Amino acid sequence: METTIPIYTAVAEMDRLTKAGIPFSFSFYKYNRQSREGGDLARISRAKLRSKTSDQQRENSSYKLSFVDIDSGLARECWQPLIVEFNGIKCTL
């Protein structure tokens, strides 16, 4: 039987792990609203969350996940509904 986790439960667990100083892995589909390009799967081996801006400062930020890719050192973000895996567990919307 395959184990799954709701995306927003996974995001809450990412937050808990980040606060404990523990990196996590996850995968998501890329999508750029401006160019309407996406579909590539991104796999992040070691990440920690970073603080995000409010919707007043940046449109739709409440639907995005702001994180740091520890391996590359880059600050990145993705759309939360496009997260498909967290620490080896499939995510569901």
Q: pLDDT for 9-30, tens place per residue?
A: 999 999 999 999 999 999 999 9
pLDDT of residue 45: 98
Span 71-84, pLDDT tens digits: 999 999 999 999 99
The residue segments making up the domain with residue 52 are 4-92
Please tell me the total count of domains within the chain: 1
- Measured CA angle at 27 (ends 11, 42), to 5 deg: 135
pTM of the model: 0.86
Span 35-49, pLDDT tens digits: 777 788 999 999 999
Question: In whole angstroms, what is the distance from residue 18 CA to residue 3 CA?
Answer: 23
